Amino acid sequence: PGSELLIRLLPRIISPDRIVVLHPSYGDHAQVWRAAGCEVIETHDPMSLTRTADAVVLCNPNNPDGRFFDPSELNALRRELAKRGGWLIVDEAYADLAPDLSLAQYGGEPGLIVLRSFGKFFGLAGLRLGAILAPEKILAEMTNLLGVWPVSGLALEVGAQAYSDHAWQADMRKRLEGGRKRLDLILRDVGFRHIQGTDLFRFVSCEGAHGVWRQLAEAGIYVRRFPWSEEHLRFGLPADEAGEARLRAALSPSA
């Protein structure tokens, strides 16, 4: 029922002592492992610390900055960790945007745990549907924790239809790319210069980011701010032309 629950259950299945977590990234990963009593090292360069880690956790593509990792390099890292009983845990919540980044083809290989989320790309987070790709022993233990009926029949039916509709997926990727390009134009026009992310969200750097957040909030527009930085914001794609115009107006100096 969504990858969030899988994240929270993993410490009950594997027990790494020292875990390296990509930072910045989805905050629950570090939080969950720290609560489990692990030594958590948050770093921008997880590859440099893998020789002394029991597990490495990263998102590919990453949230919130859209950074991505080459699957062949990750598989090599997986092999290195597996040799000493370690784990590579990859959160692929946004991988449907860029399927070539996925490690799904290596699902079941030693030392690899892949988490997938249905809700991001398909826009149905409330359906609560996720997946885990892992060695059979891990799957058996997770199945035991989840119980007999963790996912509703409706979620399974909708998920099966959505994943089999490859034409819709290809069209949606093009639509999201177009929306992302229009959002980038708005952000550049109002003065943002460092823009990155995925086709579902944009991660920007600016001075006084929390002040910009408040300015937008007072205009009824919510963007993501971060407790660890006063220089970054994350923008979701506006839903339509009216939303784009509203965002541009709220960000303009005269707003």
What's the mean pLDDT when you consider all of the chain? Answer: 96
Backbone torsion region of residue 4, taken as left when φ is above 0, otherwise alpha when ψ lies between -120 and 50, otherwise beta:
alpha
Whether 204 has a pLDDT exceeding 60, the answer reads yes
CA 53, CA 40: separation in Å to the nearest integer? Answer: 10
Judge if pTM exceeds 0.85. yes
Query: What are the DSSP calls for 13-82, one per residue?
Result: T---SEEEEESSS-THHHHHHHHTT-EEEEES-GGGGGGG-SEEEEESS-TTT-----HHHHHHHHHHHH
DSSP letter for each residue of 127-180: G--EEEE--HHHHHHHHHHH-S--S-HHHHHHHHHHHH-HHHHHHHHHHHHHHH
What's CA 6's distance to the chain center, in Å? 14
| Pairing of the two strands 87-92 and 55-59 | parallel
At residue 254 the predicted structure's pLDDT band, cuts being 50, 70 and 90, is low
- Structure tokens of 41? 């090292």
Q: How many CB atoms lie within 10 A of CB 244?
A: 17
pLDDT higher than threshold 90 for residue 156? yes
Count of alpha carbons within 13 Å of 223, Cβ hemisphere only? 28
The reply to whether omega before 110 is within 30° of 0 (cis) is no
Domains of the chain: 3-164 (3.40.640.10), 167-251 (3.90.1150.10)
pLDDT at 193 over 90: no
d(CA 242, CA 12): 47
Q: What is the pLDDT of residues 11-25, one digit of tens each?
A: 999 999 999 999 999
pLDDT at 255: 45
The span from the CA of 45 to the CA of 36, in Å, is: 23
pLDDT tens, position by position, 24-76: 999 999 999 999 999 999 999 999 998 999 999 999 999 999 999 999 999 99
Give the phi and the psi of residue 41 in degrees, each rounded to 5. Answer: -110, 115
Segment 160-191, tens digit of pLDDT: 999 999 999 999 999 999 999 999 999 999 99
Chain centroid to Cα 143, Å, comes to 23
Judge whether residue 253 has pLDDT over 80: no
| Residues in CB range of 81: below 8 A, 6 or more apart | 50, 53, 55, 56, 87, 88, 111
Instruction: Say how far apart CA 144 and CA 136 lie, in whole Å.
Output: 12
Q: What kind and span of H or E run contains 249?
A: helix 241-251
First to last CA, the chain: 42
